[in-house]
Amino acid sequence: MRGIISEKMMDEGTDARELPGNLLVAQSGGPTVVINSSLAGVVQEALNHECIGEVYGALNGLHGILSGQLVDLAEESQHVIRGLRHTPGAALGSFRRRMEAGDLEKMFVAFERMDIRYLFYIGGNGSQAAIHAIHGHAQKIGYEIRAIGIPKTIDNDLVITDHSPGYGSVVKYVATTVREIAIDDQSMGDYNLVSIIEVMGRDAGWIAAGSMLARTSGTPFDAPHLIYIPERPFIDQEFLSSVKKVLMQSRYCLVVVSEGIRNSEGNYVQVSGIKDPLGRTELGGAAEYLQSLVEKNLKIKTRTTKLGIAQRAAAHCASTRDNEEAYECGVRAVKAAIGGASGKMVTIVRESDTPYQVSYGLSALDEIAGKVKEFPQAWVDESGSMISNNFLRYVSPLIQGEVEVPHKGGLPEYVHLLGAEKFSKKVAAGPGGYR
Amino acid sequence: MRGIISEKMMDEGTDARELPGNLLVAQSGGPTVVINSSLAGVVQEALNHECIGEVYGALNGLHGILSGQLVDLAEESQHVIRGLRHTPGAALGSFRRRMEAGDLEKMFVAFERMDIRYLFYIGGNGSQAAIHAIHGHAQKIGYEIRAIGIPKTIDNDLVITDHSPGYGSVVKYVATTVREIAIDDQSMGDYNLVSIIEVMGRDAGWIAAGSMLARTSGTPFDAPHLIYIPERPFIDQEFLSSVKKVLMQSRYCLVVVSEGIRNSEGNYVQVSGIKDPLGRTELGGAAEYLQSLVEKNLKIKTRTTKLGIAQRAAAHCASTRDNEEAYECGVRAVKAAIGGASGKMVTIVRESDTPYQVSYGLSALDEIAGKVKEFPQAWVDESGSMISNNFLRYVSPLIQGEVEVPHKGGLPEYVHLLGAEKFSKKVAAGPGGYR
């Protein structure tokens, strides 16, 4: 595999000279259940390279870099580093703040002071854009640093890479839950029932589509019966007649809907109007919107489930393959930097479906930052409410294997970074936290 | 164990004469992840008794009994019966319809025709009331039948029994999910956050209280920070000041709320106004109500999760102890009936906490039917928003052990009763199903 990377790097004329210095790794954006597995990959691979001195982690990403809140990851026990491989959340702390004017300058003062020469950012679109800006600034001011992005997103919307670490596990959890709810729905036999499950997906339907895996047979009357994704406009009347059609054949109709579905005018259905810290409209309420349509128009009992944050935190239901690929992306990022690469993101390249085989590559960040990989229209059937079986060939391999999470007292046992805990104790300080 | 039952039965002057005849078992009410484990217990114990002829299952409970839709459980494969022990939903199909005038008479015509002499009902309050009525009618008309109730409810609100099969598993799943969401919340470090998780519990706070188990330390600043149950009136201002207090010490505040919380006038907060088939107000919206309070009054980012039906269907996260006790309740019910008992429900009697030990008893249904076991006020602390540690001694033993669910293709593999499938194919017939 390393061969592949070096090759690519030669093509791109990277500089393989040995660069002595310290390493800084950060996490950002919404966590996934495998984001810490990538962190473990970076830390463990870093120890294999003499030229890397200190291995720092930035607390709360950009925030920690700017405020100098770093933890020494070499100080963490082997038990904790191993535990990261099954622990959800962002162990270093995450953040959503965007870069502001002057941030880059401040950052490089800190980099110089701490002799940071290796920078790894585990994140989605926003993070890759940040790495891209940092790499550009380094070249502008002639500061030698090797900055590599590590893909991470449950949304699977990063371009070029075949898929993103975090996606396989969220789909495994959602499909497991949809299958379980379907069995419950099916057993309530004395009335018709519409069951609506709202899943994440602001702009892309990858997660909702993945619920297709819950089907035990190929038949269209196996749950989920209907799937609605943001890429297709949501038409009330089409939805209602689809539900009626399903109920002609089945006593229940199970619907999976992305939080981000929009009507034909392109507006989110029933947005709450609340804004998040980035000024984006907070979603949620898609399930309630569909519920009100069914209950008003069809007078059929309807239940909703909103999995919310559980989707990206359910480490007890993680995919082994996803977990291993996340770890490997961390390892590859370090190897790529050692090999001289910078301004790149590690990508997963699918070599074959059966048997499932991948290699790892590198892509220039300017081809990735700010771009969104939509769910392919070719995989949505004519009805617009069901996903084609071709998609299953793509997604099935990503959910294989069950990560074994150690349990204590009947509950999963997760780890905390000692350094991060020290800080959070130090900084706990009323509303506003330590800002 | 059997000794205990026989003893009780002696006291109650039960009739231990051998009664030859057929067995009928039914499931009703909302399923739990272990309701089929009790069914497996009934079926497997029945095979040990010569006097029991056919072993029938009623499809969709009362409905199947009245319409004669029965399956021959002896025809099911060993693989399927074994599979029932980890399969969610009600394998025989459930129902919510209440008994109507004339039902008892119709029922006994069917019983006589099929020589049903052993009747087992796996369910909650409503089902126990049904068994009670059936037992009473049998005595009135002098029809010899041994009717035993098997406890089942995620709500844990059945009286007399120490706890009900189904409760341990829902609590294990909710506490696991709360712990995972807490870790995610904690890692979003650049802004304060209120996280609200709505769980089931129309009248009793047992499930919400069980989320206490998610705490990794005894400190009050470990999530969940606040818990609201139906037994205590919900006061907006108290809630808001509690949230503020938590945010003085922690960057996030995780709240677990029962769907059934009521204001001081005793009305559900923000009910949707929709009625279910029994004319009961459909709940849900408690989380949204708390969210709007926080966002309007405190202007803090708030996210909600509504676990919905997933709570009672998440067999991939079931408690081994709960599963084994559910199975044993099925076994005990058959033994009790063979011993001559009728009009009784199997109860779990806690002999000790450490080591955890239970025995199984029998209680008269008139002491159980229609009664609700509220969450003990003594276990709610002064603040009204947190549960005392004494409760942990009660609940901890119930979530011990992880049920191993076979997986195929990365997803849990569940079973279907062949007989039930045949019927559901036969009866699929448009809206209204087969009613």
Write out pLDDT tens, residues B177-232. 999 999 999 998 767 899 999 999 988 899 999 999 999 876 666 899 999 999 99
**Rounded Cα distance, B37 and B59, in Å:** 17
If you measure CA to CA, which chain B residue comes closest to A287? Answer: B306
The Cα–Cα gap between A42 and A46 comes to 6
| Residues of chain B with C-beta less than 8 angstroms from the C-beta of A315 | 180
ipTM for the predicted complex: 0.92
Does residue B89 sit at the A interface (CB-CB below 8 Å)?
yes
**Which of A213, A430, A435 minimises the CB distance to B411?**
A213
Beta-carbon contacts of residue B199 (< 8 Å; ≥ 6 apart): B174, B207, B208, B211, B256, B257, B258, B259, B307, B311
Q: Between chains, do B190 and A87 touch, taking CB under 8 Å as contact?
A: no
pLDDT digits (tens, 9 = 90+) for A190-238: 678 999 999 999 888 999 999 999 998 766 668 999 999 999 999 999 9
Which one is predicted more confidently, B428 or A191? A191
Q: Strand B357-364 and strand B116-123: pairing?
A: unpaired
State whether residue B60 sits within 8 Å of chain A by CB. Answer: yes
Give me the pLDDT at residue A217, please: 75
Q: What percent of chain A has pLDDT over 70?
A: 89
Query: Does residue B426 surpass a pLDDT of 80?
Result: no
Q: B249 — contact with chain A (CB < 8 Å)? A: yes
Please give, rounded to a whole number of angstroms, the shortest distance from the CA of B296 to a CA of chain A. Answer: 10
The encoded tokens of residue A284 equal 């949620």
Among candidate residues B392, B395, B394, the one with its CA nearest the CA of residue B222: B392
User: pLDDT tens digit string along A385-428?
Assistant: 778 888 999 999 999 999 999 999 999 999 999 877 776 654 43
The question of whether A155 is a catalytic residue gets the answer: yes
Residues in B touching A27 (Cβ below 8 Å): 187
- Give the number of other CB atoms < 10 A from CB of residue B115: 11
Same fold, B4-166+318-386+400-420 and B169-313: yes
- B188 vs A96: CB contact, 8 Å cut-off? yes
H or E segment at B252? Answer: strand B252-258
Q: Is the dihedral of CA A215, A221, A224, A228 positive or negative?
A: positive
Following DSSP, what letter does each residue of A85-109 receive, concatenated?
A: GG--S-TT-B--PPP-TTHHHHHHH
**Pairs of residues, one from chain A and one from chain B, whose beta carbons lie less than 8 Å apart:** 244
The CATH classification number of B4-166+318-386+400-420 equals 3.40.50.450
Q: What is the chain A residue with the closest CA to B58?
A: A189
Q: How many CB atoms lie within 10 A of CB B382?
A: 7
Residue numbers in B near A222 (CB within 8 A): none
Residues 257 through 316 of chain B touching chain A, CB cutoff 8 Å: 274, 276-277, 284, 295, 300-310, 312-316
Determine the pLDDT at residue A278: 54
Say how far apart CA B153 and CA A334 lie, in whole Å: 52
Calculate what percentage of chain A has a pLDDT beyond 90.
72
Contacts of B131 (CB under 8 A, 6+ apart): B119, B121, B147, B148, B149, B343, B345, B365, B369
Q: How far apart are CA B57 and CA B68, in angstroms?
A: 10
Q: How far is B100 from chain A (nearest CA, A)?
A: 15
CB within 8 Å: B409 and A401: no
- Select from B152, B188, B295, B421 the residue whose CB has the most chain A CBs within 10 Å, as the one to mutate to test that interface: B188
Average pLDDT of A49-69?
A: 93
Do residue B93 and residue A307 have CB atoms under 8 angstroms apart? no
End-to-end C-alpha distance for chain A, whole angstroms: 43
Cα separation, B25 vs B37, in Å, equals 13
Mutate to test the interface with A, among B251, B259, B294 (most CBs of A within 10 A): B251
Q: Point out which residues pair with B56 in neighbouring strands.
A: B24, B72
Question: Residues of A with CB below 8 A from B305's CB?
Answer: 306-310
Q: Taking CB atoms and an 8 Å cutoff, what residues of chain A touch B95?
A: 188-190
Angle at A128 between CA A126 and CA A129, to 5 degrees: 65
Q: What local confidence, expressed as pLDDT, does residue B46 receive?
A: 97
What DSSP designation does B374 have? P
Q: Length of chain B, please? A: 435
Residue B44 CB neighbours (<10 A): 19
Task: Phi first, then psi: give them for residue A292, nearest 5 degrees.
Answer: -65, -35
Q: State how far residue A334 is from chain B, nearest Cα, in angstroms.
A: 24
Average pLDDT of chain A is: 89
What pTM does this model have?
0.92
* SS3 category, A361: strand
Report the chain B residue with the minimal C-alpha distance to residue A86.
Answer: B180
Q: Is A190 on the interface with B (CB under 8 A)?
A: yes
Segment A141-162 shows an average pLDDT of: 97
Beta carbons within 10 angstroms of residue A237's beta carbon: 9
**B169-313 CATH fold:** Rossmann fold (3.40.50)
What is the pLDDT, as a whole number, of residue B97? 75
pLDDT band at A251 (very low <50, low <70, confident <90, very high): confident
Q: Where residue A119 falls among pLDDT bands split at 50, 70, 90?
A: very high
Res B268 pLDDT > 80: yes
B213 touches chain A (CB under 8 A): yes
Interface test with B, best of A187, A243, A244, A416 (most B CBs within 10 A): A187
**Looking at residue A246, what is its pLDDT?**
93
pLDDT at B428: 39
Catalytic pick from A155, A157, A185, A322? Answer: A155
Task: Inspect the interface and report whether the beta carbons of A313 and B175 lie closer than 8 Å.
Answer: no
Q: Are A225 and A196 in contact (CB under 8 A)?
A: no
**How far from each other are the two terminal CA atoms of chain B, in whole angstroms?**
42
Q: Which amino acid is at A344?
A: K
CA-to-CA distance for A121 and A87, rounded, in angstroms?
A: 18
CB contact under 8 A, B183 and A88: yes
Interface test with B, best of A196, A309, A425, A427 (most B CBs within 10 A): A309
pLDDT reported for residue B1? 35
Per-domain residue ranges of chain A: 4-166+318-386+400-420, 169-313
Q: Which among B88, B247, B409 has CB closest to A180?
A: B88
Q: Cβ–Cβ of A172/B244 closer than 8 Å?
A: no
Residue A360 predicted with pLDDT over 60: yes
Q: DSSP for A64-78?
A: HHHHT-EEEGGGS-H
Q: How far apart are CA A46 and CA A54, in angstroms?
A: 9
Q: How confident is the model at residue A9 (pLDDT cuts 50, 70, 90)?
A: very low
Closest-CA residue of chain A to B199: A305
pLDDT tops 50 at residue A90: yes
